[in-house]
């Protein structure tokens, strides 16, 4: 359902872990970007946005719901962590 386009993550003592993942969702018109943040590489916070142009609000709300399921959120975190 989620296809990862690009992922990255950086770590610094000041900011902790900051990751970015670009991805698409099957059936959605526009790609998304999620920014991930964690001080200790667990208990992640995130910001979800459309990558380039804005799509429908109901699409981004549906992705927010998907991310509440650990399977999808963990896949995005793992993709970013794998780039360290």
Structural domain including 41 reads: 2-81
31-81 pLDDT, tens digit each: 999 999 999 988 999 999 999 888 899 999 999 999 998 789 999 999 999
Q: Reduced to 3 states, what is the DSSP secondary structure of residue 82?
A: coil
Sequence-distant (6+) residues with CB within 8 A of 61 are: none
Residue 11, phi then psi, degrees to nearest 5: -135, 135
pLDDT of the residue at 57: 93
pLDDT of the residue at 60: 95
* Number of structural domains found in the chain: 1
Sequence-distant (6+) residues with CB within 8 A of 66 are: 1, 2, 25, 72
d(CA 55, CA 47): 16
**Considering the entire predicted model, what is its pTM?**
0.93
pLDDT of the residue at 53: 86
């Amino acid at each position: 359902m989620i296809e990862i386009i690009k992922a990255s993550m950086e770590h610094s003592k000041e900011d902790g872990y900051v990751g970015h993942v670009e991805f698409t969702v099957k059936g959605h018109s526009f790609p998304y970007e999620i920014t991930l943040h964690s001080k200790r590489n667990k208990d992640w916070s995130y910001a979800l946005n459309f990558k380039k142009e804005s799509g429908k609000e109901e699409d981004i709300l549906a992705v927010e719901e998907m991310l509440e399921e650990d399977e999808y959120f963990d896949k995005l975190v793992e993709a970013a962590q794998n780039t360290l």
